[in-house]
Structure 1
Amino acid sequence: MSDSRVINFGAGPSVLPDSVLQEAAKGLLNFNGTGIGIAEISHRSKEFVAFLAELEGQVRSQLEVPETHSILFTQGGATGQFSAIVLNLLARHRLLHPDLSNDERAMDYVVTGSWSKKAAEEARRLGGGQVNVAVDARPYSKDGKSFDNIPAHDTYTFSPNPALIYYCENETVDGVEFSNDASSPASFPFHLLPQNTLAPLVADYSSSFMSRPIPRLADHAIIYAGAQKNIGPAGLTILIVRKDCIVDVDAAAKLGAMPVPITMVYKTLADNNSLYNTPSVLAIYISGLVLKRSAELGGLKYYEEVNKRKAEKVYAAIKEGAEKGVYQAKVKEGSGSLMNVVFNVLGEGAEAKFLSGAEARGMQALKGHRSVGGIRASLYNAITEQQVDMLVAYMKEFLEQ
């Protein structure tokens, strides 16, 4: 087995910068001069508490998070938030509208891929309100059943007073992403949200968090992300929660809302500075190192520019391959992700040959998600432009074979 590192195009847990891993290795033995390793130190020690505050500060400053929102750190990943969001926001809705029955409480879901579909399924499983699919992208796909597009704005139907409005900004499996350009038909239709109220807008930003600015961040009730894409190791989930959504869930339960498990209660996290119980200490440490490096490089402006160039190069190679009948784009133009670029390699045995050739050149984890197949190149922050150039060079070489 080789001791050298390969280029990891995996969707997550994903690649981390070498310099960060080298610094983290030192911290495993001696964290910030304490003589205790980061995986051993108390999460209530003054050194770790100070580090957690620094991480919060990096998120707030780089994303320009307003004081109207709290930044919380928890565990459970996106899947854990599928449940936590429903329970906390149904509790909020119960406090605001105690006389409504469950049948009168709507939860709106924008279904554009595998993860938003799973989120809607969890909301139905938990109950407590009616799930309204504000739009489902599949009927607007090329085959009528795939997730390959962001639907046009005139296809959305939101409820007048929902407990939550949920969308997934970047669908990691399907390679579909909402555009940052407000003039694009693939942007999120903020103008269609219920007016004259604080909209309970929720966004899963797991795959693109800290890779570019978040449009209209202040208009969101909750933004969350698993760390294991652009930020750090698996085990950490970062939440940006508008303060009016941090409610007394026990008071809501007395009015008939579902009880919320204590570690899922946003108020518990907020009241205890995300330290009610032992957090993912190592994941927090490495995430802090990553975001410190990000700030030194120029923050989100730097990454936005680099990530756009990276994706454009891969999409151009796919287009060239499509013209020669070798590659096939899986997502409609304009709806493609900058983080997770997906395509097919056409011809019997061609996909296996493509993957084998990539691995021989030190490029790993390009196989698409098991549910959809094909090729998926995840171009997260730690994937360099030079490494993308190597992938593109191989894609062009494969065309000539």
Structure 2
Amino acid sequence: MTTSHDRVINFGAGPSALPVPVLEEAAKGLLNFSGTGIGIAEISHRSKEFTECINNLESLIRTQLGVPHTHSILFSQGGGSGQFSAVVMNMLARYRLLHPDVKPEKITMDYVVTGSWSKKAAEEARRLGGGQVNIAVNSREFSKDGKSFDNIPAHDAFKFSRDPALIYYCENETVDGVEFSHELSEPTSFPFHLLKQGSLAPLAADYSSSFMCRPIPRLADHAIIYAGAQKNIGPAGLTVIIVRQDCIVDVDAAAKLGAAPVPITFSYKTLEESKSLYNTPSVISIYMTALVLELMKEKGGLAYYEDLNRRKAGRIYGLLKDGEEKGVFKRKVKAGSESWMNVVFEVLGDDAEKRFLEGAEHLGMKGLKGHRSVGGVRVSLYNAITDEDTEKLAQYMRDFITQEVTTKGQA
């Protein structure tokens, strides 16, 4: 069974589903972009038409997300993993300019480790050197088994350094299905109140798998927010970086003072001064992301998607609770720490997970297998997953629960 265009429902974690109207429009653009008679994959990135496209994308993000003019919006390549490095190098350069006489061993970078991606980011910071990595909190220490990333720790568990060059967290952990609450009154929200008040906090956040799914709490208090496009807003190849302007520094001047040299395409100053066109950008990804953002605007922007995504997640988590009570499913994340975007769980019983995945695929639902490092099932409910898509999966889960309970009852 398939959807329109002989397409299945793609619940994969990324590259992920894109809206069909965007794909249809992009197909036209591959042949003739913006009436130029040249396809988007062929056109010069310095052409008037593409310059208008990238400027429009910046405007759509700034308007819908409410990005203040204290922050620049940059477009890069290299994905989130590239920013693991770029964030460290740019922020260490900034710190060196502010503190030219501080020895590297006295420089600290704080990392909040709540899942696989923030763990990788901290490892990259250690590899690059230039400062000491302080794990401000490690959620594994508060997990059920002492090994899993299954929670956001309480605020009193966070131990930030006195004057760090960088404070880093991942808002939504795609692999582990753990996410900070966007309600600041909740105990699983990010503890902004613990940061040094009255100063420009060096706070950097990886928003790759939750970007544009709802508003970003205290966006203006962040130094850097970045996101790979391939989850919610576009195809792989584009990284959106929102940078507070005091963090766009002269990395060459910092290098003369002892900071590590920064590759020129990783320098936020290079991206800012070239309007993200220092080298050939990911033109197709930028074009398609702009189409997605135009569609989002037509539907009502973040208010619409926040409501939609809350409903979708609530429906699936409600069924997980029912299935858990009946011994069919087992949630992998503690209550209050669950991701709206990546719902992770286990299917209990011999070969039950295999039956669940095969049954879903038979009904035209793919991409549900969990990450290879943790196993289980992962349902990714990004913006392009509709209410109807979610209900189809929900009905399958209801039927699966009933079938499993009946089978166990007959055994």
TM-score (norm 2): 0.97
Question: Which of the residues 132, 135, 138 maps onto 1:133?
Answer: 135
| C-alpha distance in 1 between matches for 2:133 and 2:197 | 20
| C-alpha distance in 2 between matches for 1:316 and 1:197 | 42
Q: How does 1:94-105 map to 2 (within 5 A)?
A: 94-105=96-107
Where 2:72 maps in the other structure, the secondary structure is strand
Shift of 1:196: 2.8
Question: Which of the residues 201, 204, 219 maps onto 2:203?
Answer: 201
Q: Which residue does the alignment assign to 1:332?
A: 334
Question: Which of the residues 61, 65, 68 maps onto 1:66?
Answer: 68
Structure 1 stretches of 5 or more lacking a match?
none
Where 1:40 maps in the other structure, the secondary structure is coil
Q: Which residue does the alignment assign to 2:254?
A: 252
Q: Which residue does the alignment assign to 1:296?
A: 298
Q: Which residue does the alignment assign to 2:383?
A: 381
| C-alpha distance in 2 between matches for 1:198 and 1:133 | 21
One-letter code aligned to 2:228: G
Shift of 1:244: 0.1
One-letter code aligned to 1:231: I
Where 1:366 maps in the other structure, the secondary structure is coil
One-letter code aligned to 1:257: A
Where 1:373 maps in the other structure, the secondary structure is coil
One-letter code aligned to 1:313: R
Q: Which residue does the alignment assign to 2:271?
A: 269
Question: Which of the residues 10, 19, 40 maps onto 1:8?
Answer: 10
Q: Does 1:93 align with 2:95?
A: yes
Shift of 1:10: 0.2
How many residue pairs match? The answer is: 401
Q: Which residue does the alignment assign to 1:180?
A: 182
One-letter code aligned to 2:71: H
| C-alpha distance in 2 between matches for 1:58 and 1:26 | 22
Shift of 1:144: 1.0
Question: Which of the residues 220, 223, 247 maps onto 1:221?
Answer: 223
| C-alpha distance in 2 between matches for 1:308 and 1:210 | 13
Q: How does 1:147-162 map to 2 (within 5 A)?
A: 147-162=149-164
CA deviations on 1:185-204 (whole Å, 9 max, x unpaired) are 00000000122320000000
Question: Which of the residues 106, 109, 112 maps onto 1:110?
Answer: 112
Task: Give me the identity figure in percent.
Answer: 71
Q: Which residue does the alignment assign to 2:285?
A: 283
Shift of 1:400: 1.5
RMSD over aligned Cα, in angstroms? 0.9
Q: Which residue does the alignment assign to 1:57?
A: 59
One-letter code aligned to 2:89: L
Shift of 1:348: 1.1
Q: Which residue does the alignment assign to 2:321?
A: 319
Where 1:341 maps in the other structure, the secondary structure is strand
One-letter code aligned to 1:86: V
| C-alpha distance in 1 between matches for 2:345 and 2:394 | 13
| C-alpha distance in 2 between matches for 1:95 and 1:272 | 22
Q: Which residue does the alignment assign to 1:145?
A: 147
Q: Does 1:307 align with 2:309?
A: yes
Where 1:59 maps in the other structure, the secondary structure is helix
| C-alpha distance in 2 between matches for 1:109 and 1:320 | 36
| C-alpha distance in 1 between matches for 2:231 and 2:201 | 28
Q: How does 1:11-26 map to 2 (within 5 A)?
A: 11-26=13-28
Q: How does 1:228-239 map to 2 (within 5 A)?
A: 228-239=230-241
| C-alpha distance in 1 between matches for 2:342 and 2:303 | 19
Where 1:133 maps in the other structure, the secondary structure is strand
One-letter code aligned to 2:274: N
Shift of 1:305: 0.2
Shift of 1:44: 0.1
Q: Does 1:166 align with 2:164?
A: no
One-letter code aligned to 1:182: L
| C-alpha distance in 2 between matches for 1:387 and 1:63 | 26
Shift of 1:237: 0.1
CA deviations on 1:266-311 (whole Å, 9 max, x unpaired) are 0000000000000000000000000000000000000000000000
Shift of 1:38: 0.4
Where 2:383 maps in the other structure, the secondary structure is coil
Where 1:131 maps in the other structure, the secondary structure is strand
Q: Which residue does the alignment assign to 2:408?
A: none
TM-score (norm 1): 0.99
One-letter code aligned to 1:295: K
Q: Which residue does the alignment assign to 2:86?
A: 84
Where 1:232 maps in the other structure, the secondary structure is coil
Where 1:91 maps in the other structure, the secondary structure is helix
| C-alpha distance in 2 between matches for 1:301 and 1:173 | 26
Structure 2 stretches of 5 or more lacking a match?
404-411
| C-alpha distance in 1 between matches for 2:181 and 2:73 | 24
| C-alpha distance in 1 between matches for 2:377 and 2:293 | 29
